[in-house]
Every structure is written in structure tokens, then in C-alpha cells.
Amino acid sequence: MRREEVEQLQAEAAEFLSKVDIGISEQEQKSIEVADFGLNDIRNVGLEIVLYENNDRYCAKELILFPRQMCPQHRHPRVNENNPGKQETFRCRWGEVYLYIEGVATPNPKAVVPDKYRKHLSVWREIVMRPGDQYTIKPDTLHWFQAGDRGAIVSEFSSTSIDELDVFSDPNIKRVPELE
Amino acid sequence: MRREEVEQLQAEAAEFLSKVDIGISEQEQKSIEVADFGLNDIRNVGLEIVLYENNDRYCAKELILFPRQMCPQHRHPRVNENNPGKQETFRCRWGEVYLYIEGVATPNPKAVVPDKYRKHLSVWREIVMRPGDQYTIKPDTLHWFQAGDRGAIVSEFSSTSIDELDVFSDPNIKRVPELE
């Protein structure tokens, strides 16, 4: 193909893509995971998760964050010789999300965190993510994130998820608590 | 949390999600892969691909198919002892796509394929995919697919992509041809 033809097709493809919604079925809605990490304060600390696929090789999810909702600080530890821990790629689809990772602390970060949760946060290198932005988190490194004032949607592509193994910095957290 | 509270949050999350578009940046548009498989007949045989991430553990893409555009029959062979071949999960986001896999042939399949390509197709078990439908292709198994009359958008979540290793049934195909 000629370069101009490729460019024309790329423009058509992008136009196509812009028409697409991320919709889910009624049945999938009923299986959205509402994770409050056992803190019973879902509007401040929590995640809503649509799990598309999780097998022994890869995983894909949508993360829905309500306004200023926060996913608390954690890491995905090494599992064994063949698995150095979960690696994950976040792609912001809507809204704004503030991601914090290990490294030099960002002055005046955008996250707004109540003191009782703030004391368990130790990494403050800020990555501001807007629609189309992507970031990959290395295995076994600390991270946490909070949505901006309008909330956020984030696609997560990763290696296998094994939530029970996640290590949270706040000792009050249970990743998989029971329903009341 | 109480069950009713969880259901309320699920409904809010689904409402949130329905507002989201799959948008890409101008820079990403320029890097859309337009794959014609060396056949120089892109409107009939080809794929437009947005590659989000491809690392040594997982891969994520959007596949854009123009009306009746077809991805020709191929398989992802075993790579080595630790890699039985690429495994991939398709999730239809828009339009309709007809996926063909190994198994009992479907009578009156929906695909419409010119004879010169049809002769290289041997698997005819049909999976009709509409928005929200998902299907996972086992490693090293033959498959091909065609979009319906309006085209289709398909999210692909998978293990690592190594396109050069793909084995196509049509000997005229080159997965990664040069531009003219």
C-alpha cells in the first residue's frame, strides 16, 4: 500500500472507533465487583470493577471510580520463580485519575485524602492521567490512585490477577471482605 | 455492605461506563497498523489495529474491521516449553463479527467470502459476536473472522503478540509486508 492510502485508512479507522461505547450487558452489571476493601467507606475508598477475563496468562478489566474515590496503596508481590508479581497497564478512558508510584514525591499533588487514610500512603510520585493516557506499573512496586472531581474510567490490561495476594499498606484493609 | 447498596452502586457504575468512548490521540491515529497481509486488497482482507500494549506477559489492542473486511485463517503456534502459543480473548464492542473456529461446521454461515480466499478456509464453526459478546481462542488453533455489513470494533486481550510467528493458511499471505 502507498503511504497516503494508509493514512486515509487510519483516519477512517479512528473515526469508526470514536463511535464506540464501552457497554456491558445487564448480566455483567449484576456481576460488577464493588470493592470497599473492608473499610465500609465506599465513596472515599473503593473501586467498581468489570472483569472481562482473568486466566493463567492475562487479565482485562474496567475500573470505575466515582468522584474522588481512591484505590488504597498496595503492591502485587512476587508469586514464584516464574511470576515476579502482577504487572498492570492502566489506560484512562474518561475523567481524570491521579496515580501515585515510587519515586521522587511530586510537590502539591492533586489527590485529596482524609488524614486517616493519608497516614498509610508512602509513595507520592504523581502521574496525572487523562483520556488516552497510559501507564504500566512494574510488578511488586507500591502504587495507589484517586479519581478527580468527576470520577474516572480506567481500562486495566495485566498479567493474571490474584487479588488475595495483594499487599496493602493500611492494616485495616481486607481485599476480599464478606457481604453483611 | 448490604446487598441493596451493592446493587445501587453497580447500577451507578454501569451508567458511568455507558458514557465512555474509546478515543485515541492524534499520535495514536498515525500509528494505527493497517494490515493488508500482503494481498493488496485491504477492503476485503485486512485489519486496522490500535496496539495499546505488548510486553513479555500480555497484550491489548483494538481491532477495527471495515464492512465485510476479513482477517484470514491463521493460528498462533507453540513458541517453546513455556509458551504454548498466543491465547486471545475477543470482545465485540460495536457492529457484528462472525468468528470461525475448529469444530462442527455451521450450516449457512453468515460470512461472505470471495472464492479466491474461500479456498484457503477450512474451519467453519461459527460464533456470532455482537456488542458485549466475548470469546477466547485457545493457543495453536485455527481461526478467522469477518465483520458484518456495518463493520465491527473488537477489543483483543491476549498473551504476548509475536505476529511474525503467525501461521496463515493462504500461502500468498505475508503478515508483515513492506510499504510500496
Picking from B28, B60, B151, the nearest residue to A89 by CB comes out as B60
Per the prediction, chain A carries an average pLDDT of 91
Within 141-170 of B, beta carbons closer than 8 Å to A belong to: 151, 153, 155, 157-159
Given a contact cutoff of 8 angstroms between Cβ atoms, the answer to whether B140 and B160 are in contact is no
Nearest to B126 by CA among B150, B154, B146: B146
pLDDT cut 70: percent of chain B above it: 97
Give chain A positions within 8 Å (CB) of B158.
58
Q: What is the pLDDT of residues A30-39, one digit of tens each?
A: 888 989 899 9
| Cβ–Cβ contact A114 with B under 8 A | no
pLDDT of residue A180: 53
The chain B residue lying nearest A60, using CA atoms, is: B157
User: Are the beta carbons of B42 and A132 separated by less than 8 Å?
Assistant: no
Q: Which amino acid is at B163?
A: D
Picking from B14, B24, B155, the nearest residue to A29 by CB comes out as B14
pLDDT cut 70: percent of chain A above it: 96
Q: Which amino acid is at A128?
A: V
Q: What is the pLDDT of residues A58-91, one digit of tens each?
A: 999 999 999 999 999 999 999 999 999 999 999 9
Given a contact cutoff of 8 angstroms between Cβ atoms, the answer to whether A163 and A79 are in contact is no
pLDDT cut 90: percent of chain B above it: 71
CB pairs under 8 A between A and B: 192
User: Are the beta carbons of B58 and A22 separated by less than 8 Å?
Assistant: no
pLDDT of residue B178: 59
